[in-house]
């Protein structure tokens, strides 16, 4: 169905380039009668001008012409990207093999030797014009296709950007909720200020120094602030008791690891899956004397081992009801002393390697500074 149109001769433009007036007129007359749309030129130069002007489907070129000869015109047509698809029939003398070879090199599509038979001419024109129409169609089809692809791509890009924006919004929202949730737990504790913020920042620095990838670092960054979420389930009078806890009270406090696990358990959100493990294991000790399970060494998940160091360091360098914050050097000495007993020695080494950055964080998130909260959200989100 699609190709019916191009079989019909009235849609076909033919240009005849022939210096012999008689021959030219005869050919033009004949082709008009056959239903072609016919144009003519007396020489090569005029011929090429008409080629550009009327964009014929087929050009019949006499080989022997004064001035620009047939081969030159043929070359001119075939070397131009606008006209290269036009079918060129070169009319030569009888069996002029050398000229034919030259013609082929110049890009001629077909040859006719004078004198030629009318059916022969018709057949050549038909087949060449057909090829030209196919090419035209393909060309326009490709153009349509390209613009369609372009349109679809831009639609897709737009949709992608919108989706990305929505994703960012949701991510930001859930991260902020994580942060607020962690803060909620903190309110029950004696900690004030920016404990969880510093923990998160210390953990990130350690993870970076350990060479973890961006995704892992993010998981730790957003998972670690929830380490003490289980304190929500511990009675306040025990949590903030000023004196020394008795055995029973200490057992109750230890439950914050299991309660934290229960709160976070079974989430599909990967940050919470990490937080669940940190909450459960952040009081385990390298030598197996920690709680709740007394796990030993690398059986304790890495993120919990990292958080443990950050948690203790921050506790030591933060004011308590009965003491002011210990100096960084004292806190570091305590951490170093606990290497291999309380803490993973490898991680303690890392902690010391990035000591300066840790101190920077300590000074950045000062408990007394009301700006710290906003600063942190900026870091966190």
Partner 1 sequence: MSKLRAIILAGGEGLRIGQYKPLVTFLGKPLIFWVYSTLRKLFPVVYLSFKTEVQKKSLEKLLKFYKVNSKSIEFIPDIRPELRGPISGILSAMHFFPSEDSLLVLAVDQPLIQTDLLLFLQEISFYYPKCILVCQKEEHIEPFPGIYPCSLKKYLEEFIKVSEKKSLYRMFQFFLQKKSLLFLKDWNKVDLNGKSFININTLEQLKELEKKCFGLE
State the residues that interact with Fe ion by CB under 5 A.
228
Q: Does 258 bind partner 1 (CB under 8 A)?
A: no
Q: Does 324 bind partner 1 (CB under 8 A)?
A: yes
Strand partners, 14: 38, 58
Nearer to Fe ion, 112 or 264 (CB): 264
Sign of CA dihedral 275, 277, 278, 279: positive
Q: Does 342 bind partner 1 (CB under 8 A)?
A: yes
342 binds, among Fe ion, partner 1, none (CB under 5 to 8 A by kind): partner 1
Please report the beta strands in the chain, taking only residues with DSSP state E, as ranges in sequence order.
Answer: 13-17, 37-41, 58-62, 87-92, 110-113
Cα–Cα nearest to 300, from 315, 312, 289, 311: 289
Number of residues counted as binding partner 1 (CB under 8 A): 23
SS3 87: strand
Please report the beta strands in 28-84, taking only residues with DSSP state E, as ranges in sequence order.
Answer: 37-41, 58-62
Structure tokens at 293: 């399970």
Question: Taking the complex as a whole, how short is the minimal distance between the CB of residue 276 and partner 1, in angstroms?
Answer: 25
Structure tokens at 320: 């308590």
Strand partners, 39: 15
Strand partners, 339: 343
Residues 6+ apart with CB under 8 A from 83: 51, 52, 55, 77
Question: Taking the complex as a whole, how short is the minimal distance between the CB of residue 197 and partner 1, in angstroms?
Answer: 22
324 binds, among partner 1, Fe ion, none (CB under 5 to 8 A by kind): partner 1
With beta carbons less than 8 A apart as the criterion, state whether 198 and 314 touch.
Answer: yes
Taking CB under 8 A as the binding criterion, the range among 96-104, 179-187, 332-340, 363-371 that sits at the site for partner 1 is 332-340
For Fe ion, the nearest residue by Cβ is: 228
Question: Taking the complex as a whole, how short is the minimal distance between the CB of residue 304 and Fe ion, in angstroms?
Answer: 10
Nearer to partner 1, 45 or 325 (CB): 325
Q: Does 366 bind partner 1 (CB under 8 A)?
A: no
Which of residues 80, 327, 349, 363 is near partner 1 by CB under 8 A? 327
CA of residue 186 relative to chain centroid, distance? 39
Binding-site string for partner 1 from residue 278 to residue 307, where x marks contact by CB under 8 A and - marks none: -----------x------------------
Instruction: Name the residues that contact partner 1, by CB under 8 A.
Output: 243-244, 246-247, 250-251, 289, 312, 320, 322-327, 329-330, 333-334, 337-338, 341-342
């Amino acid at each position: 169905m699609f190709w019916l149109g191009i079989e019909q001769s009235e849609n076909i433009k033919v240009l005849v380039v022939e210096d012999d007036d008689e021959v030219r007129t005869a050919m033009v007359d004949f082709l008009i009668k056959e239903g072609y749309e016919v144009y003519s030129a007396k020489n090569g130069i005029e011929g090429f001008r008409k080629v550009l002007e009327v964009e014929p489907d087929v050009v019949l070129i006499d080989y022997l012409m004064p001035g620009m000869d047939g081969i030159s015109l043929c070359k001119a047509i075939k070397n131009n990207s606008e006209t290269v698809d036009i079918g060129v029939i070169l009319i030569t003398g009888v069996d002029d093999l050398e000229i034919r070879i030259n013609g082929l090199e110049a890009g001629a599509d077909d040859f006719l030797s004078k004198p030629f038979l009318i059916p022969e001419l018709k057949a050549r024109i038909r087949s060449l014009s057909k090829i030209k129409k196919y090419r035209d169609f393909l060309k326009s089809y490709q153009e349509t296709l390209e613009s369609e692809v372009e349109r679809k791509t831009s639609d897709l890009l737009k949709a992608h950007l919108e989706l990305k924006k929505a994703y960012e919004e949701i991510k930001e929202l859930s991260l902020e909720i994580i942060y607020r949730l962690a803060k909620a737990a903190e309110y029950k504790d004696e900690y004030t200020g920016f404990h969880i913020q510093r923990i998160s920042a210390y953990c990130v620095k350690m993870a970076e120094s350990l060479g973890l990838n961006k995704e892992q670092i993010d998981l730790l960054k957003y998972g670690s602030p929830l380490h003490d979420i289980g304190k929500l389930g511990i009675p306040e009078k025990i949590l903030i008791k000023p004196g020394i806890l008795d055995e029973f009270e200490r057992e109750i406090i230890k439950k914050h690891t299991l309660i934290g696990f229960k709160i976070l358990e079974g989430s599909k959100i990967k940050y919470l899956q990490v937080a669940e493990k940190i909450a459960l294991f952040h009081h385990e000790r390298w030598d197996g004397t920690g709680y709740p399970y007394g796990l030993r060494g690398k059986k304790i998940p890495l993120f919990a081992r990292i958080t443990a160091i950050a948690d203790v360091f921050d506790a030591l360098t933060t004011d308590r009801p009965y003491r002011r914050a210990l100096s960084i050097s004292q806190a570091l000495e305590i951490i170093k002393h606990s290497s291999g007993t309380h803490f993973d020695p490898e991680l303690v080494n890392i902690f010391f390697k990035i000591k300066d950055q840790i101190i920077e964080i300590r000074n950045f998130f000062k408990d007394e500074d009301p700006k710290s909260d906003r600063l942190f959200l900026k870091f966190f989100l």
